[in-house]
Amino acid sequence: MSSNARNLEQELQARLGHAVFGVEQVVHGLCLALVAGGHVLLEGVPGLGKTLLARTLAAHKGGKFKRIQCTSDLMPADITGVHVFNSDNRSFEFIPGPLFADVVLVDEINRTGPKTQSALLEAMEEGTVTIDRETYPLPDNHFVVASQNPHEFEGTYPLPESQLDRFLLRLDMDYPSRDMEQRVLKSYDHSAGQRRTTPQVESPIDSGLVDAARGEADGVHVSDSVYDYVSALATASRNHPHVSLGLSTRGALAVMRCARVEAVLRAAEFVTPDDIKIVTKSVVTHRLILSPDASLEGVVGDDVVDAILAQVPVPRD
């Protein structure tokens, strides 16, 4: 049985796979986020193709792409925009910042200070930006992909809990396999390959396909036992001995939104506990704030999520 959601993922896998190799799971996560209407935190060391992936997604999505390179001196107005006085008509005009794009890559988000990080909160949650007491709408289907290097700590500002909670998913972009790395070398080891930063797209993906996939996800049936299962997972995260701050209600809703999309991607008409399990790690891990004891014992977020999934009984009906 085919579905619009499955057709969308096949399109994304084929199109993005021509530019960035061996990232099928990351593209799957991007598809989840696009259909669920959320934003993505992409973790990985520099040089793995995060910028190219976001730029290629924007080109095939058919929207404007902007890249924000975060630094310690980046100010909120640098990303949101400013009012500039026009001497000809003697009035202030709004000059929008790079945040006013369809796909925005916020590169190395943890290299900018909390004040600038907080400027993203309204944009990511409400799709608007307020400047000088005036509110401006962002483009429909505004999509933020933020990247950070998980192994670099000097000169960085850890994202606050409220910021992390705005990211629907955290996706890990790891080193490619040996075969895939050889394919990258063969494809980009020449001057033309180095300059190929803007993909040539004959026609973008039909925006109606995304809308149809969202309609399918909204129509998927969810039983009371599945809702109870997600609630039990959230409660277990709040009571876990290695967790200082557990899953919020927004986080539990994010699990449900992604599980709905996961269900339609396999052309199902209802959400199962397996759909919940598949998306939980990507949705939950970055939202958990671990206790100091967990750090001392070498426990990481993935370990806690695995323990919670093993602890909470799975509904059988």
Please report, for the domain that includes residue 171, its CATH number: 3.40.50.300
Amino acid 38: pLDDT? 93
Own/partner long-range contacts of 276-279 (Cβ < 8 Å, ≥24 apart): 276/226, 276/229, 276/230, 276/233, 277/309, 279/32, 279/255
Q: Are 263 and 272 in contact (CB under 8 A)?
A: yes
Say if residue 171 is in the same domain as residue 289.
no
Domain that holds residue 25: 4-187
Q: Which residues of the chain have pLDDT under 50?
A: 1
Please write the tens of the pLDDT for every residue from 196-218.
556 677 788 888 899 999 999 99
Amino acid 190: pLDDT? 73
Say if residue 223 is in the same domain as residue 177.
no
Amino acid 36: pLDDT? 94
Amino acid 151: pLDDT? 64
CATH number at residue 230: 1.10.8.80
Amino acid 93: pLDDT? 87
Amino acid 239: pLDDT? 94
Say if residue 14 is in the same domain as residue 125.
yes
- The domain boundary, picked from 187, 204, 227, lies at 187
Residue 29 belongs to some domain of the structure: yes
Say if residue 27 is in the same domain as residue 134.
yes
Distance in angstroms (rounded) separating the CA atoms of residues 259 and 294: 28
Residue 199 CA neighbour count, 13 Å, CB half = 25
Q: Are 309 and 280 in contact (CB under 8 A)?
A: yes
Residue 103 belongs to some domain of the structure: yes
**What is the model's pTM?**
0.89
Number of domains in the chain: 2
Say if residue 25 is in the same domain as residue 123.
yes
Say if residue 14 is in the same domain as residue 159.
yes
Say if residue 52 is in the same domain as residue 166.
yes
Residue 90 belongs to some domain of the structure: yes
DSSP state of 270: B
For residue 291, the Cα-to-chain-centroid distance in whole angstroms is: 25
- The domain boundary, picked from 187, 210, 245, lies at 187
Say if residue 24 is in the same domain as residue 172.
yes
Residue 201 belongs to some domain of the structure: no
